[in-house]
Structure 1
Amino acid sequence: MLLRIFTVLFCRGMSVQAPSRTESRLLVGLFLVALAYSLHGVTYHWTKGFLSGHEFRQTQTALITHYIDRDDNFSLLYETPLVGKPWVSILMEVPLYEWVVVGLSRATGLPHFMAARSVSAACFYLSLPALYLLLGRFGLPRPRRLLVLALILCAPVYIYYSRAFLIDAMAFCFSAWWLLAFVRAMDERRWPWLVLATVAGTGAALVKSATFAVWLPPAAAYGAWLLWRDLRAGTGWRAPGQTLAWGLATVVVALGALRAWIAYTDPIKAAHASAWIFTSKTLSQGNWGLFDLRALFSAEVWRQLLHCWEQAIASRWIIAGGLLAGLALPRVRGPVLGLGAAFFAAQALFPNAYAYQDYYFYSIAVFVLAALGFTMVGLLDTRWPRVLVALVVAVPFAAQVHAYWQDYRVGQSADLKGGFPLTDLLRDHTPEGSVLVIAGADWAGIVPYYSQRKALMIRNGLEDDRAYLRRAFNDLEGENISALVLHGPLRQHQNLITIAASRLGLDPRGPTFSYQEVDVYVPKRLAAELRTRLASAAPYAGVTVHPPRADEAVWKHLVAITPERAQSEFKAFQPAPFQADFQFGLGWMGVGGRQVLSAHPDANLWIKPPADATRITWTYGLLPGAYENPTSKTDGVEFIITGELPDGSERRLHRRVLDPWANPAHRGEQTETIACSLRPGEVLRFSSGPFETPERDWAYFAAIRIEP
């Protein structure tokens, strides 16, 4: 039964009357009005940088485009710097769309978002000839094909998302031309159509496989019908074999290229700390709900699907009524049934994707719109009064206009340049090339894109995963981290703030500035200068800059070390320290037959180096008891050398984390030799601090030598 439903999608020789000259003129006029309406909607607020409509997804595509252009990187290993290093991690599509956007931007000087809108709109309008020719395979006279195209042009989803910074319009265009080429190749067995099918199918599969996937079942059903027809003819295996060979030839390259891309990218994504959710299996079964019967029969999923119908297409009642009316009209029943089945089959294939992401309907709205168009054609052939037919035909168009102006037009009307004061501040006042750490916004690229900064976005649910946080922060070692950005409830997540403060050199006692429901912590080395600049800069609306916290004499246990004590106790430290701040007091213990200085965090030791010093040798370690018990062990200790300058500023000269439980090479005594170029009057502070928590952080300093 399902096969029969799909095969009628391409039924030919449908019995329809030839349109009269008056009807033809009216349909041409309707098409031209619909085209003008579509162009107006697509180009409305064309120069506004705000990416209205699933901005989180548009900004991801925009970020890819930005870094392709900035780095002149047109390879398949493109950067999507959203979920931390390695930046090459979210490889979901071959970036053909992004390459075209960059090429157009370079050729015309258009900003990326306008070039992207141009590419998306061009792809949509270039798909119309393919749809026009496909409608001809149904036996529709030319003027009546324009009626169906007019419905497509007026659809809210094809107005709103044909101007989006999304790959969907390009995948749709490739899919439409592939389906036309497939049908013509199967009917005519001509090589030019096979070549077109190969090129368009490969483009569709690599740009967005989820779009191509929902255009395959109708084609497969038509191919199966042709094969069944050949077998029924009983003329041997030659004809069925040729049909099968031609059918496979139209998709073998496309599916082979897609398989190769998946095999190439899945291991890269799987190896990343959090990008593994974008592997093909996880994405299709988890995010899209591939063949998920629970989702398919979920009342919540269907509630969302029906809402998306009303956003993207028209009222659910108009859609349902139009399909039922078409099924009641014998002349158009087949096409209405087949096209409607294609529409519903796609949602059955990926129920979650369509229920929660209305832009996914860009790929399949054409099927149900074409079905409604055939219902209208059927009405034109009835004996109903022409005035009544005209009124009924006008209903779907009126419903589409109402749906667009009630929903999408409102968002599209926002007079915004893109971004908001928080992203403006981050772009203007954090070092170019620096990295943001963001939590509470999942992996939405809005803040990284508008601030033009790379980001480690801590995905929702991972903020309490210490193993993940450790790995993600370790991957950022050596990067210039310029801010911790906390959204919503995570503003109160003290464990995350404490860990980030330890790793990034933040003051955990309070944010540097806030914007609405966002707190931003800036590293201590940048915070004072940032506050100074902001005090003299034009204000950023809604941003509150918090005064610095009183330093509370951070050194609560500061003690002076007299020369006599230094000479008697600190013989292994050259030069000898002159002051210390050890949370648990200065104390010595025996390790390996010698006395070492206990440095359980927090511990700080100050030394005035020789003016001609060029090398620091530091010996330190953790006691075996810190890591030998698997149920109660250290989670790491960081050892830091900080240079304190006479003007009160600081700079980090060295940092190393010892984690002897996870890394056996960190067990036992460690000796570091650090090259240095010191500044006049600079004092060195040798510190130990907890990597995450201070539990069993039994560290010690054995020796320090600073030499020319």
Structure 2
Amino acid sequence: MLVTALWLLTRAWHASILDRYEFRQLQTAVSAYWMKVDGYRLDYEFPIFGPPWSAPLEFPIYQWVVATVSRILGTGLEPTARGVSVAFFLATLPAVYGLAGLLGLAPSRRLLVVSAVLASPTYLFYGRTFMIETTALCFSTWFLYTTVRAVRDDRWLLAGLAVGFALLAGLTKITTFAVFLSPAALLIWPHWRSGWITRARSPAAFRRATLFAVVPVLLGIATALWWVRHGNGVKATNPFSGFLTSQAMAQNNVGTWSQRFSVEYWRQHWGNISQMVLGEAPIALLLFCAALVPSSFRRVAAGSAVFFLSGPLLFPSLYFTHDYYYCANAVFVLAGAGFLLAGIWDAPHLPRIARLLAVVVFLGGQLLLFNRSYAGYAQRVLPAPPGIAAVIRETVPTDGVVLVYGWDWNTLVPYYAQRRVVMVPLGRAPETKVLDEVLARLPPGSIKAMLIRNDENLRATPDFIRERTNRFNLVAVPVATSADGDLYLAEDRIPDVLARVRGRTFAGVIFNAPPSTADPDEILLREVDATALALPLLSPHPVRVRGRYGVSAGLSDGRPTVMANATSELEFIPPAGATQIEAEMGLVDASYAKGGGDGTDGISVEIYELQPNGLRHMLYHRDLDPAHNPADRGPQAISLRQEGPFTRRLIFRITPGLHANYTNDWAYWSRITIR
């Protein structure tokens, strides 16, 4: 089972983390990224709300490990995070094995308990995510094992280990640590009771047993509460992060009594359990096994089920909303399942083939459940990172700050942009005084860009945009637009930005060119009589024509064309309802056939839609270099069928390309049809 689990855990190792609960994975990834970049500190960087650039959630043990391993090995952050999660999950298994031994299972039968844990869909999926779940599980399981062993064996070394694991578990994730407290009490009780009632131990040994049982728990809880209070204090220093304090999140974390007694609540849990933790067929098999095994096995299985249910009883809202919380408690019900399988394996009245079949059916049923519930994430094409984040990474200086509206505190863009941001939470966009308070802590001129995403939660009016762009000296129209937001930059940055991204594709992003008056070629372009180009090959006819070397009707390689050497522009008014553009253009053969380096070094062809504010939405861009790329020779077809409808003027532009060299840039249009 271990080999199968390792194979499943390591599939699609370099796949995107945008698979399931990416919101939570990205939060962890952001803090790990900035630890790797800027080093370690107690108030670790979570730079999405502004100074102090920190809003501590969990104690960052997992993130520290990921950042350290990634830095030492030189590996990517995401595959490293997967490796660390898998390592912590595997490190949990010896403790599970040991706990099964404490409950009386023979060494070989304990492997059935470990196998039941390994086969769970919950751990096969979340055991490889960029999350802290397996880290908290590992520390908590070892806390449970070492504490029980310390009390039973009266050993200071084990007690010291129990304290260490309790501190680590409580700091890493207190909601996971809390689920392990009742199992710890129940497993410790028989050993502590023997010294209290039967006087089987000396008074000194009994006092040590009490100490070993109580101190790890108290220190773990106290340390966890200290961290929560410390984090609250840091979050409270920024008005945008105050909603993340434990007081503000109390109802979301703890839930209500009505939830705990809600039929709908438990129906949802049953759906989560039967689809992601323990399948219906394996459950049916276990119920059958329970009727055939000794009562001692049934008691362990029943107790394990109760401990499993303690998670959703303690934190109903969290378990109702996030199925990854089952990483904390699934180990109990799975261990109980392993006990029932061990009982069946040793059932003397069953034939060996029946006992083997029970184990195979259980493990196979769990693997089939994984295939139905989670395996698809390793097989499907996952969403790509937002293209606008890559644009920000390319265009905003590393020390620059981006003001973000419309994303609440979703760290998707900040993580992939790798820039510090000030994210204005949803519903707080109008609170300019609060924004002033946050930005006053930044050095002047820190805001280098603004990203605004309009959706049902934010409708940014022109006045809203104008007020903020004026304040931060940004152009009031976006340099790039996408479904993930419009990006606004300072005017003096736009030419450099457009030059940097020229010829490159960013998923889902449309770039806007500055008004033509900002183009250094503008003063060199001459107006041409557009009526002279009322040719059949242009439909509709152009309403404005300009060119550095003129634009005229002619022949290119024997074909009627419009000769439009770089730089040139043809402007059209699209007919009503136009949705498609079909065009053909190229460079005449003689332009690149010359020897001795006198030929063209390439051109760029661009199609824009003119905006009311003067900016140009880029619809099409391609660089042609026929001298070095045979595919760029001859007529080149252009077809735009998805970018319409076209309601504003269209500009067909040819420029000298990346090298800004006009030598022999003899370009032509042989057809333009807008319909």
Q: Same fold (TM over 0.5)?
A: yes
CA RMSD in angstroms, aligned pairs only: 2.9
Alignment partner of 1:410 out of 337, 358, 376: 376
What residue in structure 2 maps to residue 343 of structure 1?
308
Matched, 1:483 2:447: no
Deviations 1:197-225 (A, max 9, x none): 01111111112222111111211233345
What residue in structure 2 maps to residue 198 of structure 1?
163
Alignment partner of 2:209 out of 218, 230, 243: 243
Gaps of 5+ in 1: 1-33, 552-708
C-alpha distance in 1, partners of 2:443/2:268? 43
Matched, 1:54 2:54: no
Displacement of 1:498 after TM fit?
A: 5.1
SS at match of 1:520: strand
Amino acid at match of 1:109: G
What residue in structure 2 maps to residue 529 of structure 1?
495
Amino acid at match of 1:442: D
The range that moved more, 409-418 or 354-363, is 409-418
532 and 260 in structure 1: CA distance in 2 versus 1, 3 angstrom threshold: closer
C-alpha distance in 2, partners of 1:496/1:388? 72
491 and 293 in structure 1: CA distance in 2 versus 1, 3 angstrom threshold: closer
SS at match of 2:247: helix
SS at match of 1:363: helix
What residue in structure 2 maps to residue 514 of structure 1?
481
What residue in structure 2 maps to residue 308 of structure 1?
272
C-alpha distance in 2, partners of 1:327/1:364? 25
Amino acid at match of 1:161: Y
What residue in structure 2 maps to residue 256 of structure 1?
222
The range that moved more, 462-471 or 375-384, is 462-471
Amino acid at match of 1:501: T
Displacement of 1:489 after TM fit?
A: 2.4
Matched, 1:65 2:32: yes
Amino acid at match of 1:289: V
C-alpha distance in 1, partners of 2:210/2:408? 46
Displacement of 1:135 after TM fit?
A: 0.4
**Contact 1:182–1:219 (CA under 8 A) maintained in structure 2:** yes
What residue in structure 1 maps to residue 580 of structure 2?
none
C-alpha distance in 1, partners of 2:392/2:174? 35
Displacement of 1:343 after TM fit?
A: 0.4
Gaps of 5+ in 2: 518-675
SS at match of 2:456: helix
Deviations 1:477-517 (A, max 9, x none): 63233122315324633275455334434455x543322x3
Deviations 1:34-73 (A, max 9, x none): 111111111111133445332121222221122112112x
Equivalences for 1:192-231 in 2 at 5 Å?
A: 192-231=157-196
Alignment partner of 2:66 out of 88, 98, 101: 101
C-alpha distance in 2, partners of 1:211/1:323? 28
Alignment partner of 2:388 out of 415, 419, 422: 422
C-alpha distance in 2, partners of 1:172/1:430? 39
Alignment partner of 2:91 out of 106, 120, 126: 126
**Contact 1:80–1:87 (CA under 8 A) maintained in structure 2:** yes
What residue in structure 2 maps to residue 166 of structure 1?
131
Equivalences for 1:488-499 in 2 at 5 Å?
A: 488-490=455-457, 492-494=459-461, 496-497=464-465, 499=467
Displacement of 1:233 after TM fit?
A: 3.2
**Contact 1:436–1:481 (CA under 8 A) maintained in structure 2:** yes
237 and 188 in structure 1: CA distance in 2 versus 1, 3 angstrom threshold: closer
Alignment partner of 1:333 out of 271, 278, 298: 298
Matched, 1:398 2:357: no
Deviations 1:399-451 (A, max 9, x none): 32222222322223345696232222222223223222233332121111111
172 and 195 in structure 1: CA distance in 2 versus 1, 3 angstrom threshold: same
C-alpha distance in 1, partners of 2:354/2:257? 42
What residue in structure 1 maps to residue 328 of structure 2?
363
83 and 414 in structure 1: CA distance in 2 versus 1, 3 angstrom threshold: farther
Q: Name the TM-score, length of structure 1 as normaliser.
A: 0.67
539 and 75 in structure 1: CA distance in 2 versus 1, 3 angstrom threshold: closer
What residue in structure 2 maps to residue 588 of structure 1?
none
C-alpha distance in 2, partners of 1:173/1:300? 32
C-alpha distance in 2, partners of 1:108/1:365? 33
The range that moved more, 183-192 or 103-112, is 103-112
SS at match of 2:51: coil
**Contact 1:327–1:337 (CA under 8 A) maintained in structure 2:** no
58 and 327 in structure 1: CA distance in 2 versus 1, 3 angstrom threshold: farther
Amino acid at match of 1:523: L
Alignment partner of 2:75 out of 73, 94, 110: 110
Equivalences for 1:267-666 in 2 at 5 Å?
A: 267-283=233-249, 285-289=250-254, 292-316=256-280, 318-319=282-283, 322=286, 326=290, 329=293, 330-382=295-347, 383-414=349-380, 419-476=385-442, 478=444, 479-490=446-457, 492-494=459-461, 496-497=464-465, 499-508=467-476, 511-515=478-482, 517-525=483-491, 528-529=494-495, 532-533=498-499, 536-546=502-512
Deviations 1:116-165 (A, max 9, x none): 22211111111111111110011111121111111111212212222222
**Contact 1:202–1:253 (CA under 8 A) maintained in structure 2:** yes
For these two proteins, the number of residue pairs brought into alignment is: 512
C-alpha distance in 1, partners of 2:411/2:288? 42
Displacement of 1:298 after TM fit?
A: 3.3
C-alpha distance in 2, partners of 1:294/1:546? 53
Displacement of 1:340 after TM fit?
A: 0.6
